[in-house]
Amino acid sequence: MKTLFDTNVILDVLLDREPFSDDASFLLSKVENSEIIGYICATTITTIHYLAAKALGAQAASGHIRSLSPFSS
């Protein structure tokens, strides 16, 4: 199954936004385990970095962006 993930789903996990983070984590784990193919829009990466950097700092945001590698294959 191919799934396009909205920016907010990724942010729910990265920023642990309740009550959505558990469901979002479950879906992203499906991508990590190759059970589904996950896609994100190119602009999602810059938006996530910007918002995560504001909340967590630039270094942490960059690390989180690297963790999105399952979406780049």
Note whether 27 and 5 are within 8 A (CB).
yes
Give the separation between CA 43 and CA 73, rounded to whole angstroms: 17
Structural domain spans, the chain: 2-72
Phi, psi values for residue 63, rounded to 5°: -65, -40
Q: Copy the structure tokens of residue 66.
A: 């690297």
Note whether 44 and 10 are within 8 A (CB).
yes
Give the pTM: 0.83
Q: What is the pLDDT of residues 13-63, one digit of tens each?
A: 999 999 999 999 999 999 999 999 999 999 999 999 999 999 999 999 999
Give the separation between CA 16 and CA 7, rounded to whole angstroms: 14
User: CA nearest 61: which of 46, 71, 73?
Assistant: 46
